[in-house]
């Protein structure tokens, strides 16, 4: 079976099918070249970043308490469907300044999903380095429901609470995919990744990769507390309508 790229969080390296090992952060965005090439500068004003962080802590903490019954029921359903499988899927993702972190999700696929990915690459429906399938055979029955309802993303509230993510920001990509992003879009790595952004409220998987990256660039250009709040408010109907979810 074809092997996909494997990322080791301990050594901060990607191992390719050829056996080549490359350190991830050697490919991360660097100042000032990437920012100058993109012509975009993230909002680093304390009057933006400090209130944003306080808001992230307050909202993610409250949401974790309020949604704990939903999360417990989800964990129970995942275990009932696959008693031997893990409840959570903690995936290495590229974070701010190229620092990798474990992005928390409820497991929505079969336990050996990563091993099966290589055999499905020919079915990829997304342009660019990202892998997406509308009807991915690895998704479980419970997984299909929690993906449609975006319940699988709820554990990322923990990532937000501890400061690895924000409520609003570009979605974190898997390490190998982040490594393959065009240099013009590497400025994304200068912004803390988020649970929702323009891509999430504009159609998600209905949007191809290049347009997704352009939407992230638009977000970076428009960063403000008011813009973040508007995106959060737009996320609610997008989740309820399952727009672009699969």
Token digits of residue 89? 């899927």
Q: What angle do CA 7, 11, 13 make, to 5 degrees?
A: 40
More confident site: 39 or 136: 136
Convert the pLDDT of each residue in 73-92 to its tens digit: 999 999 999 988 899 998 88
pLDDT of 206 above 60? yes
DSSP string, 214-226: HHHHHHHHH--HH
Q: What is the mean pLDDT of the segment spanning 98-109?
A: 91
Q: What is the mean pLDDT of the segment spanning 141-160?
A: 93
- The percent helix, strand, coil of the chain (3-state, each to 5) is 50, 15, 35
pLDDT of residue 15: 54
How many structural domains comprise the chain? 1
* Residue 51 domain flag: yes
Band of pLDDT at residue 157, cut at 50, 70 and 90:
very high
Report the percent of the chain where pLDDT is more than 70: 76
* Residue 217 domain flag: yes
* Residue 142 domain flag: yes
pLDDT of 183 above 60? yes
* Residue 160 domain flag: yes
* Residue 101 domain flag: yes
More confident site: 14 or 47: 47
User: Greatest CA span in the chain, whole angstroms?
Assistant: 52
Q: What is the mean pLDDT of the segment spanning 14-32?
A: 47
* Residue 184 domain flag: yes
pLDDT of residue 10: 55
Closest CA to 29 of 172, 174, 188: 188
Q: Is 95 in contact with 101 (CB distance < 8 Å)?
A: yes
Q: 192: how many CB neighbours lie within 10 A of its CB?
A: 22
Write down the residue that tokens 């469907």 correspond to. Answer: 81
* Residue 27 domain flag: no
β-strand partners of 183: none
β-strand partners of 144: none
Q: Lowest mean pLDDT: which of 17-26, 119-128, 175-184, 188-197?
A: 17-26
Own/partner long-range contacts of 13-20 (Cβ < 8 Å, ≥24 apart): 14/175, 14/176, 14/179, 17/118
* Residue 187 domain flag: yes
Domain that residue 223 falls in: 6-12+44-240
Closest CA to 196 of 228, 151, 161: 228
Q: Is 212 in contact with 181 (CB distance < 8 Å)?
A: no
pLDDT of 244 above 70? no
Q: Is 28 in contact with 175 (CB distance < 8 Å)?
A: no
Q: What is the mean pLDDT of the segment spanning 230-241?
A: 87
Token digits of residue 132? 């997406």
Collapsed DSSP state (helix, strand, coil) of residue 106: strand
Convert the pLDDT of each residue in 29-88 to its tens digit: 444 344 444 578 899 999 999 999 999 999 999 999 999 999 999 999 999 999 888 999
Q: Is 78 in contact with 151 (CB distance < 8 Å)?
A: no
Token digits of residue 94? 């590229």
Q: Lowest mean pLDDT: which of 26-40, 115-129, 163-177?
A: 26-40
What is the overall mean pLDDT for the chain? Answer: 81
């Amino acid at each position: 079976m074809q092997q996909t790229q494997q990322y080791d969080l301990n050594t901060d390296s990607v191992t390719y099918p050829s056996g080549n090992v490359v350190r991830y952060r050697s490919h991360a965005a660097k100042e000032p070249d990437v920012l100058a090439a993109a012509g975009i500068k993230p909002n680093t004003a304390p009057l933006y970043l400090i209130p944003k962080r306080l808001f992230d802590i307050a909202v993610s903490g409250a949401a974790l308490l309020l949604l704990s019954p939903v999360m417990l029921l989800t964990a129970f359903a995942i275990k009932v469907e696959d008693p031997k499988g893990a409840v959570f899927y903690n995936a290495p993702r590229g974070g701010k300044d190229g620092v990798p972190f474990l992005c928390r999700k409820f497991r929505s696929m079969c336990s050996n999903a990563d091993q099966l990915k290589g055999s499905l690459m020919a079915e990829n429906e997304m342009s660019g380095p990202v892998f997406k399938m509308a009807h991915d055979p690895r998704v479980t029955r419970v997984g299909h429901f929690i993906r449609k309802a975006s319940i699988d993303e709820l554990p990322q509230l923990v990532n937000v609470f501890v400061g690895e993510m924000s409520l609003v920001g570009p979605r974190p990509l898997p390490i190998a995919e982040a490594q393959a992003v065009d240099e013009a879009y590497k400025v994304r790595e200068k912004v803390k990744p988020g649970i929702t952004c323009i891509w999430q409220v504009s159609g998600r998987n209905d949007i191809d990769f290049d347009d997704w990256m352009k939407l992230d660039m638009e977000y970076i250009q428009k960063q403000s507390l008011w813009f973040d709040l508007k995106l959060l408010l737009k996320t609610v109907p997008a989740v309820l309508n399952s727009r672009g979810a699969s």
